[in-house]
Amino acid sequence: MKIVITAASLFTPLELVESPVVVIEDGRVTAVKPRRQMEVPATTRHFDFPEMVIAPGFIDIHVHGNAGHDVMEGDDSALVAIQRAMAKHGVTSYLPTTVSAPEDRLLSALEHLGKAISRNDNHAGSRPIGIHLEGPFISQAKRGVHPPESLVQPSVQQFERFWQASGGTLRMLTIAPELPGAVETIQAARRLGVHASLGHSNATTDEAQQGIAAGADHATHTFNAMRPLDHRDPGILGVALTHDRLTADIIADGVHVDPSIVKLFLAAKGPERAILITDGISATGMGDGRYKLGALEVEVKGNRCDYHGRLAGSVLTMDRAVRNTMSFAGWTLQQSVRLATSNPGRRLGIADQKGTIIPGADADLVILTTAGELVQTFIAGIPCH
């Protein structure tokens, strides 16, 4: 049976379509046209959202957990709970993100996540589309809350062990380019189609440039866990903000960076190279208390997650990040949506499948108010909450 969705407007997100008709069959978009060019087909299941906006489903490339669970738990029911909770905030695809841990635990987590990705189960929730390995190839000086004893020097051999454990599902690697062996590891990752992201790094300008020359194409939670910007020695942050080859992401929660810095970041990276992430942990949606980030116990009060005085992830949701972008930087809803949809889709090389509403793409959609409030999420054309 065909599914048809109509609304007041639609963001592809690069184009605006007024009074759209979206036709879906077998989980994919088959047509997108203004109503003046297409009648609503008969014998269809029709969802109508007057005064609302249709947009692509959000893609979160950096998230550790949700709904009281962590992606490294190694439990299928935990992943289902995380994915259903994220779908309630518009995330239809995501990269489950690991933290540095003892090697046996990290390998076990990668194996479990890789199998879950390969199964591609449909639990009416967000779908994992690859793993983001955040650590252990990061700087001791900028490790954040990653356990110092779990950090290791990058090497091709060690990276390939992680790759094999994941069943070839690694999609992103956060790495400090100044570490011995980092350049060779970045090159090995890129040969396997894994995007190397500069982060948790104390790199100088030259060291960051060497990482880019080796194949790094992204920057992880810009400003956080990075050498501070200096006007004579800009370091990795100066490179992340100005290099045209790099996309970069940011945690727009008003806690990790001040709203004025979000505005500065967006002005520097522009609408094509900026990406929103949540860095959400198990506490997301759960209220104040103590929660897990990997093996760490994190204290949450309000919007702040602390581990012995250091920020430890966030409780940000992606729909809130989109609205914060509108509020902090004065961007329109359409501009802000792009940072959570087509931009991460392009970075991952899946822009023809996800993060867009075009014929042939996956029918992962969200319905929003004009203020960016989430009304409904569709995954493969099916309403999931």
Residue 194, exposed/middle/buried by CB under 10 A (0-12, 13-18, 19+)? buried
Residue 276 has φ and ψ, to the nearest 5°, of -90, 140
Helix axis angle, 156-165 relative to 182-191, nearest 10°?
Answer: 40
Question: Is 26 among the residues known to form the active site?
Answer: no
* Whether 6 contacts 365, CB under 8 Å: no
Cα distance between residue 227 and residue 139, in whole Å: 11
- Cα separation values, 128 from 3, 117, 123, 257, Å: 24, 6, 11, 27
Q: Which residue has the tokens 């959202």?
A: 49
The HSE-up count of residue 14 (CA atoms within 13 Å, CB side) is 10
Which of the following is catalytic: 279, 319, 362, 364? 279
Residue 136: asked if its preceding bond is cis (omega within 30°), the reply is yes
For residue 137, what are its two tokens? 């190839």
Supply the residues annotated as catalytic.
Answer: 279
